[in-house]
Structure 1
Amino acid sequence: MVRQLDFNAMQAVFTRFRETEAEPKGELDHTNAFTLLVAVALSAQATDKGVNRATRELFPIADTPQKMLALGEEGLTEHIRTIGLYRNKAKNVIRLSQRLIDEYGGEVPSSRAALMTLPGVGRKTANVVLNMWFRMPAQAVDTHIFRVGNRSGICPGRDEAAVERAIEDNVPAEFQSHAHHWLILHGRYICVARKPKCAICPIRDWCLFEDKTG
């Protein structure tokens, strides 16, 4: 049986999140829509900290599709070789840079469908860009959000698509814009996989997790 927080509990949970951090921010360094898109694409199966280390010297010299193409695949590879799957990611970044120039005038589109036509860009990456740069209430579900959603009863679902729908359907509208960041940060630092830090959890009173620690 799927356990789902009721409306009053959801209101309380997200009010508490907002009280804890009113304007949650993503942790990938970027300077514009293009560098955000590249950073998110690079972050698949990698940590944000690892991506930030790799892009610290990359983005100052390649912050547009044109500059990325000028750097070239081999040049890009040298910057990101500390990131998992770096060769395939380098190919995709060069290809998406070319696609942006050829089809979108060098600009990152603000459409999920358009973003998902770019090499290496799936729904999750597209939703992050839509949420963080274009301020749309798009919900990018990763392993952290999937865990928090099911463990707490905030947005349960059998797969990432179901959890995304649960957020869209059940999180009150006033919290939709920041829901993705609140949930991912909660999963990254409090509701961790092996030993959740329930003793310091700000939403402990409403969470449906039966094996609370502390």
Structure 2
Amino acid sequence: MLFHYHYWTPYLEETERFYTKLGFTVHQRIGRLNGSFQSFNPPLAWEDFRENTPLFRIIEMKKGKINVTVGYGKKVIFDHIGFFVSKEEHRMVCGKARNLGWKVEEDERRTFLSTPYGFRIELQTHLDVLASGDAAIEEMVICVSKEGLEKDINHLFNKDVPVFSVMDEESKLHQVVLNGIGNGMDPNGVRLSDTKKESVN
């Protein structure tokens, strides 16, 4: 199940505000302040640390089966998408990724696959990355500079996966279809839509 995307961005507060207005809940904020990583989780708000803003490594927001994370970057950089998988699916996908020659980084918390398309794929098996509710990612459209994304992802998961590509010089997340959320564009240029790729221009 497609559940997640992550960006590095200078627009952290704006991104958090945008998604909370859509009904997302902030679950954690981890940032570096005075030389060490600390938690700035709710009920803390931006007003509580704005004068000495941490260098945020991650801000995690959830709504139903959608998990969006951002971390500080000097410019907007698309990092990865995530799939929630069973342990059996995890073994299968990792094996197929290795056969494709992709780098596979596994640890107890999550696994990352380095794709040749300018972004990574996260495999997640822990239920705590999801919240309760029906909200879900139905489809993604990703800008890539190389052909073959759909073929490779469908091969990894041994089924049709709702991830599609459009050609561009830069890898970036073009559109995400989120059920029940409607249309708009987040501060990082990600188009949120209730219209699937047939209508994407």
Shorter-normalised TM-score: what interval? under 0.3
Quick check: which one's strand share is greater? 2
Bigger Cα Rg: 1
